Amino acid sequence: MIILAGFRRFSAKDDLSFAKELIERVGVAATPVSGFYTRPEDHERGYLCFAFCKQEATLRQALERLHQLHSL
């Protein structure tokens, strides 16, 4: 299962830059939506794709890390 999540309330960066920042800041990886399109004008800006094909413990740890974004 995957989910698209908007990140504009955390950053005005493009999706690739924010995906890299997310790894560096909180240790959670997501796929930039722009990677699924050949033309930049064809995709929504400000979204990342998260995959949920993980163990429950891994998902809980990722959720805890993502909560850190509110305090950064």
Q: Identify the CATH class of 2-71.
A: alpha beta
Give the mean model confidence (pLDDT) for residues 12-34.
Answer: 94
Bridge partners (DSSP) listed for residue 3:
50
More confident residue, 62 or 40: 62
The whole-number pLDDT of residue 48 equals 95
Q: Is the pLDDT of residue 16 over 90?
A: yes
What end-to-end distance do the CA atoms of the chain give, in Å?
A: 28
Mean pLDDT check: name the lowest of 7-11, 19-23, 35-39, 68-72.
68-72
Sign of dihedral through CA atoms 28, 35, 45, 20?
Answer: positive
Q: In the predicted model, what is the mean pLDDT of the chain? A: 88
Q: Is the pLDDT of residue 59 over 80?
A: yes
CA–CA separation, 2 and 49 (whole Å): 7
